[in-house]
């Protein structure tokens, strides 16, 4: 049995397979996920698990060099934006429209669906390197 880190097999597997600039997304329960993109569905009930708890868990194992989020996150859910900035510290943030973000999901290795019900609680994380 795995002793530390992410216990979810699918998330762990995707993170372990990622190379430099590969991406993974974390989204609220309403984010539309393209049919050809791997869906890792964690949603149980309203806000369980939360977006931010899921982000924190992923950041334990994934080196992130850039985060992509929607302008709507900043405008509509500023608390979510502040939480993202707090967790990602000095990581580059690229802001695009929500429509563009949804289109970019097809390029992600996977999308993790949370139980979050805060509008626009979605990010794409681009993998960095540890050396």
Where in the sequence numbering do the catalytic residues fall? 20
122 is in an annotated binding site: yes
Helix, strand, coil percentages in the chain from 3-state DSSP, rounded to 5: 35, 25, 40
90 is in an annotated binding site: no
| Tokens 């999901």, located at residue | 105
28 is in an annotated binding site: yes
Rounded Cα distance, 40 and 94, in Å = 24
98 is in an annotated binding site: yes
Binding-site residues for substrate sit at: 28, 98, 120-122
Binding-site residues sit at: 28, 98, 120-122
């Amino acid at each position: 049995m795995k002793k530390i880190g992410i216990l979810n097999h699918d998330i762990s597997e995707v993170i372990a397979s990622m190379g430099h600039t590969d991406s993974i997304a974390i989204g609220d329960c309403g984010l539309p996920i393209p049919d050809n993109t791997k869906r890792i569905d964690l949603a149980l009930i309203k806000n369980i698990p939360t977006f931010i708890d899921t982000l924190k868990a992923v950041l334990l194992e994934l080196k992130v060099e850039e985060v992509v989020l929607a302008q709507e996150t900043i405008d509509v859910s500023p608390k979510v934006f502040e939480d993202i900035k707090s967790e990602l510290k000095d990581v580059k943030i690229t802001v695009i429209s929500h429509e563009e973000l949804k289109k970019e999901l097809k390029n992600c290795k996977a999308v993790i669906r949370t139980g979050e019900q805060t509008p626009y609680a979605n990010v794409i994380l681009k993998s960095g390197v540890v050396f």
